[in-house]
Chains A and B, each alone.
Chain A
Amino acid sequence: MGSIGVVYDSGFGHTAAQARAVGEGAIAVPGTEVSLYFAEEVALDPRQLDGCDALVFGTPTYMGSGSAVFKTFMEASSKIWLDQGWKGKLAAGFTNSSGHSGDKLNTLTQLWLFAMQHGMVWVGLGLLDGNGRSSGSDAELNRLGAYAGAMAQSNSDQGLEGMKDSDLRTAASLGERVARQVALWKGAGL
């Protein structure tokens, strides 16, 4: 049984919906266990993530990087980092902002570097970019065209109902990919 932890922060529920979509995508892969962990809570005891085979990190993009609360979680993991306690786990990332770019790539880069410092192995999104042709639409998977992880964009004057289904399916696709990679790695006995 592969075990995946989705660690997330959320300001007004959009990134929470994205986190849930990652979870739903992962759990659809047989033999996968998934739990979501809220960043401010798991920051108090990050060792509860030690048993996970993969960690998927998600945070809103605020002011061009991850939220302060998510950073609190990152720093709370420093004792584990010192012992390289999470070394060899798989990792992936996702983020949401109201801006279509919102400089979200910087957040994914931040999450990737965080995983690298922990000695983890990064799993990208694995989808070509969508909505880049005249025949395309924003209903296509990966409509924001990210490779490093899953991006979403939500209008600042709407709640969760304003989340694009394509962004949630993109997040689910990331969750599914991580779950399949976990199954591969575990199957290889690594």
Chain B
Amino acid sequence: MKQITKLLFVFLALAASFQMNAQEMTITGTVTSASDEAALPGVSVVLQGTQQGTQTDFDGNYTIEANKGDVLLFSFVGMASQAITIGDSSQINVVLLDDSESLDEVIVTALGMKKEKKALTYSAQEVKGDELTRVKQTSAINSLSGKSAGITITKSSSGVGGASKVVLRGNSSTTNNDPLYVVDGVPMLNSGNGQNGDSGRGIFGGTEGNRDGGDAISMINPDDIESMTVLKGASAAALYGSQGANGVILITTKKGRDGKIAVNFNTSFTVDNVTSLPELQTQYQSNSVGQPITENGRVTDPKSWGEKASGLSNTVDDFFNTGYTSINAISISAGNQKAQTYFSYANTYAEGVMPENRMVRNNINLRETANLFNDKLQLSASINLSDQRIWNRPINGLYSNPLTGLYLNPVGIDLNDYKDFEYFNTSTNMMDQYATSFDENIQQNPYWLTYRNPSKDTAERVLANVTLKYNITDEFSLTSRLSYDKSFFTFDKRLYGGTDPNLAPATGRYILEKTENTQQYVDFIANYNKQISDDFGLSLILGTSLTKYKIGDQLFLDSGIGTGLTYPNEFTIANFSDTKTIYQSVSNREVQSVFGAANFSFKNMLFLDVTGRTDWSSTLVNTDSESFFYPSIGITGVLSEMFDMGDGISFAKVRASYAEVGKDIPTYATIPLNSIPAGQNNFQKPQFGVIEGESLEPERQKSFEIGTEWRFFHNRLGFDLTYYDTKTTNQIFLIQAEPNVQGYVQNIVNAGEITNKGIELTLFGKPVETDNFVWNSAINYASNDNKVVSVHPSLQDGTAIINPLGVNGYGYALIEGEDFGSIRGRSVVRNDNGVAVVTDDGSGGFTLESTDVETIAHAQPDYTLGWNNTFEFGNFVINFLIDGKFGGDVVSVTEAVNDFYGVSKASANARNKNGGMIDVVDTNGNAQQMTAQNYFLQTGGRAGLLGEYTYSATNVSLRELSVGYNLMFQNGFVENMRFSLIANNLFFLYKDAPFDPNIASSTGIGLQGVDIYGQPTTRSIGFNININF
């Protein structure tokens, strides 16, 4: 409350001091290029701290209204920006230096250090905040897709507020492939509450479904982001040691600026509609049609293998709503040279496409920066509060999922009759579910699941940061940062009595989860910079840090499926009639680190980087060493400085680097203890342990990369090319236990080798540039060749299972010699002509011959391509992004189950052809026929032959489109206004799979490349208004 009061006070103070300055004058001038003294058209001229600005014309001339003392910022792609304070003169001519000639273009790198981009010895790609918010998504990270080479982003199927799976340069680890997020120099805790990080709950999904608990990155207000830098390789991330193995995404947030008060208001509103729905049939009705329906709604046959009939319809479309997302954000920046304030507030409200799915989020951010003691001491403090509530977050999986009952509804039985999802059960004197069937426990009334199995996810987050920097001399400074990051999650699910008794007892079931994640971080860094001579420069860093984690600190309270609740449908824990299913868990970890870096520069053309870091991790107790060391070395040569390359080449450099990073081992792995598992009344022995005589060590990744960057014709054209080769060894595997006396089900071992080799190419240019038309274009291409070279030697067939096949048809494993992530299943055996082979079971029935369990798909793309274009003419700006993923295969359990129930269009098509018979051949080679129904009952279903449901994951989509119009106001309260029409996920230019392959069933390690009744993808269309005051 105190915080809110304080924030309100600041807000009011800022508003009160709001006033207009009327002493405007007209400034004119010409902008030219330093290298050839030619006039530069299209240079952006902006009043610092505002969005007010203009561009130079074809002759390099500009005119702008400004006040004395204002600062004008001149910027142009590939050239060094310049800031000029307006004095008495109204004529300001500017000469811009080519980027290569300037020292100004800096980029934020590891530990928040700013470095000249040209000195980098590794690949780093910066994406500016406005690119991320042009077509706004509720999670800023999703906006990165297609905008940086080598980053693969897969959204979860849970819709608004869901987590994202982000992979840089391919999967390399068996435990976790999430990059590290670093906000303003401090590593951020991205743990959510749920599947993020674990392997998903499998095909069934359980009572809660494969639930996405969200992640912390999605709770950041996209409007607060100044820029994101993607550090893909180990070299860039080596200073993060055990956290850097999966690459790093650095986020720089906005801060207050010196100058007059700037207020920005942004509102966006999009309408969301489902696309990529499964194709269902309306030709063959269920045998239930015309049969009696019982009091509780049960029909005689839940499947749809009956007669052909006309006039059938399906009402799947009716079930989904038109969703909408509304994001309103305001930010205020103000300050003087001593102190600056940035404040923002954002409100996000979304109604999902699934009924009763809503999300509301509020973000408040306050950041103070100050320069004290003659700028000797720089202080920055920020506090970030987020509050998010999601009702009925969509899940995937077969159980508890409204979509199964929806799609599988017997054809010809009107789902509208089931909108009234309950009836009064006179024997229990309470309401009970009215449903067509509970077949296989995967069918329930979708409306019942929506209204009588409601869930609510709450997430609250506090992130507080303090940074102190003291400049002892011009060359020597000390920095210390403190951060406290805490999230509170509550998950509340209520299953009313009448729910499928497999999932909830007759009295109902109540699940309440309370989880906290905490990260405390402190570091202390000494920085020394010295230009030793005209030719030699040196920069040294030495630092230490301490991070404490308390993740998944959870109370799990579940009334269970035993006796459930004492009094029906009273959802409070005092009403639990047994307490077998309650437990506590937490994962504690502490990492202490010492790190150092040395950078040498020679004549501003040759740069050498050496870094080293040692981490001590608490997870390594009882192993051979509690610490591990991560080195990196890199070198860059700026060719365009070394040689005269002519006018055409503005900039050229080559770079090479080598690094070793890693990852510590899972918490508690070295101290196995007994536990009391949920649902049992007795203790359980440790489920996994180290193999007798072995020890564990951290996972290690060695990587090498070389790259080159070229720019031509005053940066009209350029490219950045990188080749990398990484080898990850000592992976942590949980494998089936060797025979043991401890009762371990699994052994935890270091083993295996996974390699990733790839090419990343960024091509950017300005193909057209005239007085009133500019076309900017950028292509991001990345290919990755990913191989599991070896797994643990004890796994005799070279297979490490992640999701076992169990009683279903889908499995996920890592297999030697194959790409990372082999999707496993069985397929129909076919003869040379592709005809399915059957055996005659002796009673005239045919059984399809099936293969053994084998690899049926690898979900990862071979290469990705993003093509981003901006057209500017006059005040109009059009932007579109085409995003493509090529290669890889995905599997649809949805289609398999739809086929099994006879509701899929494919099942109707097969019945329409060939008299409803499918040609097969028996084991003796004789041609035979089996009914389509018999065929699909064998290939389909959750335990079916999923090899038949494999589709190419290749897809190309028009991911983003925006049409913006800029309005400038010369004299007024409002400075400028931008109005944009925006669209996201407009359509697929190409897609083979029956669902959107860019949506993941799990953002954890398992359940990749498979759709199990996930929420269909949505297309969003709307508008965005941005106003600067």
Asked if A and B bind, the verdict is no
Could you tell me which B residues sit within 8 Å of A by CB distance?
none
